[in-house]
């Protein structure tokens, strides 16, 4: 019991340090550097993690030649203390990892609630084409660069396939934040980016699910992979469809509870249930959370949850990002910088071209296609979630996780800076409709 009590006290100390460091990092980034606070939270985790300051002890402290105190590392590197040599060991405790995963569920549930379901469906057609290009091109480039640098033996290697899957990710949260700040979220480009980002992540997570299945089975079996894809897509459609059909009743039912915070607790319980079901059907937990959030987005419940969910979001999400940063072995990033730079360049080209070129064929002009491509660029929290799954399952090691961090940081910093300058006043992103009998196709209405 004493040992258990010591572990709990240690976990509480860790959470205190994580929250303080993450909030300070986020404040510095948002207020002074004018970049998304997620980068500060991620950087704070890298700084205080087991591979940096958190792995250092203090002392011994002596008095009169006698040792009176010695403070061990706050975030001890559990990989260094593991001697079984089997599989991949997380450098942090399972308790801290579990709390971070709860944060990722809350993050995607919140993203689903903030998505306009009607607009999502309205732009589903054009966004699907953009999403397919924005997933396929980065996936191929991600696989190719991993093989080219010798981190995978071939194009069927699960490591290469996993990096390709990470390349497909698009950060819903970052895209929404930037477009919202620009007041461009309701524009055709904004809604298309949002819908395509959602579909992009569904496709990416489906690819990730297939890669995880291949890693477990040890080979690429077309029938089994097809069955897995059918099962996961079918489950996602059923879960989302059932959620949409029952959303009004769920909202009405939850509103009948008179206990303070009942709607908040019940909604989170539903998100956790959907996440657990998704995991049991072979999908990542986050897709279940997002599906329920999306289904409830048009209800009164979503509006009632907006304010109380902010508190939960503010407390748990920084923990998730900081913990993701803790998984990075800073000392080993030097070994993968060249690969990281090449991967970042291809990640940028893959998203901008893969999403932007299809946008030209669904009604956007060059300016609009450029905005769509840049809006799809940031990898952000989704790539971190996917990379964290890869680290946790042992498909990739700390070196390739570091590459995912490099790509995430670079694209997340670049996208807001470029996107903010891509919406000059009076310049439409839609192709002008040609009046009958004219040849004009490039003029734009303000």
**Residue 261 placed within a domain:** yes
SS3 sequence of the chain: CHHHHHHHHHHHHHHHHHHHHHHHHHHHHHHHHCCCHHHHHHHHHHHHCCCCHHHCCEEEEEECCEEEEEECCCCCCCCCCCCCCCCCCCCCCHHHHHHHHHHHHHHHHHHHHHCCHHHHHHCHHHHHHHHHHHHHHHHHHHHHHHHHCCCCCCCCCHHHHHHHHHHCCCCHHHHHHHHHHHCCCCCHHHHHHHHHHHHHHHHHHHHHHHHHHHHHHCCCCHHHHHHHHHHHHHHHHHHHHHHHHHHHHHHHHHHCCCCCCHHHHHHHHHHHHHHHHHHHCCCCHHHHHHHHHHHHCCCHHHHHHHHHHHHHHHHHHHHHHHHHHHCCCHHHHHHHHHHHHHHHHHHHHHHHHHHHHHHHCCCECHHHHHHHHHHCCCCHHHHHHHHHHHHHHCCCCHHHHHHHHHHHHHHHHHHHHHHCCCCCCCCCCECCCCCCCCCCCCCCCC
User: Residue 280: CB partners within 8 Å, gap ≥ 6?
Assistant: none
**Residue 45 placed within a domain:** no
CA–CA–CA angle 253, 259, 260 (5° rounding):
110
Residue 58 vs residue 340, higher pLDDT: 340
**Residue 221 placed within a domain:** yes
Structure confidence by residue, pLDDT tens digits, 332-365: 677 788 899 999 999 999 999 999 999 999 989 9
Average pLDDT over residues 259-271: 95
Q: What percentage of residues in the chain have a pLDDT greater than 90? A: 36
| Tokens linked to 308 | 């109380």
Structure confidence by residue, pLDDT tens digits, 103-144: 989 988 987 887 778 877 777 888 999 999 999 999 999 999
Residue at token pair 């009632």: 304
Residue 65 vs residue 188, higher pLDDT: 188
CA–CA–CA angle 386, 105, 188 (5° rounding):
75
| pLDDT tops 50 at residue 394 | yes
What angle separates helix 94-114 from helix 172-182, to the nearest 10 degrees?
40
Backbone angles phi, psi at 58, to 5 degrees: -120, 140
Query: How far is it, in rounded angstroms, from Cα 89 to Cα 97?
Result: 12
**Residue 15 placed within a domain:** no
**Residue 23 placed within a domain:** no
pTM of the full predicted structure?
Answer: 0.78
60 upstream amide cis, omega within 30 of 0: yes
Q: Which of 61-65, 169-173, 183-187, 345-349 is predicted with the least confidence, judged by mean pLDDT?
A: 61-65
| pLDDT tops 70 at residue 429 | yes
Identify which of 387, 400, 396, 382 has the alpha carbon closest to the alpha carbon of residue 215.
Answer: 396
**Residue 321 placed within a domain:** yes
How many domains would you assign to the chain? 1
Confidence (pLDDT) at 287: 78
Structure confidence by residue, pLDDT tens digits, 273-282: 999 998 887 6
Confidence (pLDDT) at 381: 66
Confidence (pLDDT) at 85: 41
Cβ pair 23, 43 in contact under 8 A: no
Residue range(s) defining the domain that contains residue 167: 103-419
Which CATH number does the domain housing residue 355 bear?
1.20.1530.20
**Residue 307 placed within a domain:** yes
| pLDDT tops 60 at residue 172 | yes
**Residue 24 placed within a domain:** no
């Amino acid at each position: 019991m004493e040992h258990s009590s010591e572990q709990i006290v240690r976990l509480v100390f860790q959470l205190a340090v994580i929250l303080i460091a993450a909030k300070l990092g986020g404040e510095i980034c948002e207020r002074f550097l004018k970049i998304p606070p997620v980068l500060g939270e991620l950087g704070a985790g890298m700084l205080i993690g087991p591979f940096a300051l958190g792995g250092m002890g203090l002392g011994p402290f002596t008095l009169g030649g006698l040792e009176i105190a010695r403070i061990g590392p706050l975030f001890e590197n559990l990989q260094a203390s593991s001697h079984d040599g089997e599989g991949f060991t997380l450098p942090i405790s399972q308790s801290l990892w579990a709390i971070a995963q709860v944060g990722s569920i809350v993050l995607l549930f919140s993203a689903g609630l903030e998505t306009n379901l009607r607009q999502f469906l309205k732009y589903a057609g054009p966004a699907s084409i953009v999403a397919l290009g924005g997933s396929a091109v980065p996936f191929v480039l991600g696989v190719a660069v991993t093989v080219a640098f010798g981190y995978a033996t071939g194009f069927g290697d699960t490591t290469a396939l996993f990096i390709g899957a990470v390349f497909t990710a698009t950060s819903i949260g970052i895209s929404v934040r930037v477009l919202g700040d620009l007041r461009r979220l309701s524009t055709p480009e904004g809604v298309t980016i949002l819908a395509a980002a959602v579909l992009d992540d569904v496709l990416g997570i489906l690819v990730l699910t297939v890669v995880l299945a291949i890693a477990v089975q040890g080979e690429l079996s077309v029938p089994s992979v097809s069955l897995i894809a059918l099962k996961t897509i079918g489950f996602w459609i059923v879960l989302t469809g059932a959620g949409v059909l029952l959303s009004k009743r769920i909202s009405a039912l939850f509103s009948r509870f008179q206990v303070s915070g009942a709607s908040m607790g019940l909604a989170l319980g539903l998100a956790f249930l959907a996440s657990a079901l998704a995991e049991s059907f072979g999908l990542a937990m986050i897709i279940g959370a997002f599906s329920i959030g999306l289904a409830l987005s048009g209800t009164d419940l979503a509006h009632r949850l907006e304010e109380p969910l902010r508190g939960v979001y503010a407390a748990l999400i920084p923990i998730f990002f900081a913990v993701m940063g803790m998984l990075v072995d800073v000392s080993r990033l030097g070994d993968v910088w060249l690969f990281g730079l090449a991967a970042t360049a291809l990640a940028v080209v893959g998203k901008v071209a893969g999403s932007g070129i299809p946008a030209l064929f669904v009604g956007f002009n060059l300016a609009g296609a450029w905005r769509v491509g840049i809006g799809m660029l940031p990898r952000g929290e989704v790539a971190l979630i996917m990379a964290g799954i890869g680290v946790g399952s042992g498909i990739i090691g700390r070196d390739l996780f570091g590459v995912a961090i490099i790509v995430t940081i670079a694209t997340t910093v670049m996208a807001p800076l470029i996107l903010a300058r891509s919406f000059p006043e009076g310049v439409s992103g839609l192709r002008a409709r040609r009046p009958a009998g004219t040849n004009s196709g490039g003029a734009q209405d303000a």
